[in-house]
Amino acid sequence: MSYKWWSFIAIFLFGIGLAVGLATPTGIADLMSEDIAALEELSRILLPFSFLTVIFIFIKNVSALVISFVLSPILCLAPILSLTVNGWLLAFISSAVVQEESLGFVLAALLPHGIFELPALIIGQAAALSFGTMAILALLKKGKRNLLLPNLKQNLRYLLVALALLFPAAIIETYITPLLIS
């Protein structure tokens, strides 16, 4: 299957997460109050306009993509969960913030760095899905084993593109987004 199809599959899985997030009742936020409190504490530590914040965000996002790629041969669970959970969180939190603030506030908070971060997520997770599927096929069918290394090399290139997109996203999230939402 071509990488283009893996990209469509990744977008579809992210879209499922978005749909579920929009359909999730906002009362669930009460159940997640401890998690929300932890995120608020983290936001106090990660100061806007600090290069350490850029590095933290970049390393966190790179780690998530690399771990998903490495774990993808385990039934592709990591990339599937990453795409659907990220879509769910984005939609769920955005809909809650729209009720508290406005749609403009949410767009100002997400669009500037999201232009880089969302394609990075899709590109990286599509590579993880492709590699994970090929690893599973190579394990199950001897005839596919010779395709594993070329597939790995190709998908590592896509993963590197995704990782490169995460750095400008972290910079924008640290330096531009706070200006737009203040």
Residue span of the structural domain in which 64 resides:
3-181
Cβ atoms within 10 Å of 87's Cβ, excluding its own: 23
> Is the separation of the CB atoms in 135 and 73 below 8 Å?
yes
Tens digits of per-residue pLDDT, 61-109? 999 999 999 999 999 999 999 999 999 999 999 998 898 899 999 999 9
Rounded Cα gap, residues 141 and 40, in angstroms:
48
Q: Is the pLDDT of residue 42 over 70?
A: no
Q: Compute the average pLDDT of residues 11-37.
A: 82
Number of domains making up the chain = 1
pTM score, two decimals? 0.91
Q: What angle do CA 3, 170, 99 make, to 5 degrees?
A: 95
Please name the residues in contact with 15: beta carbons below 8 A apart, sequence gap of 6 or more.
87
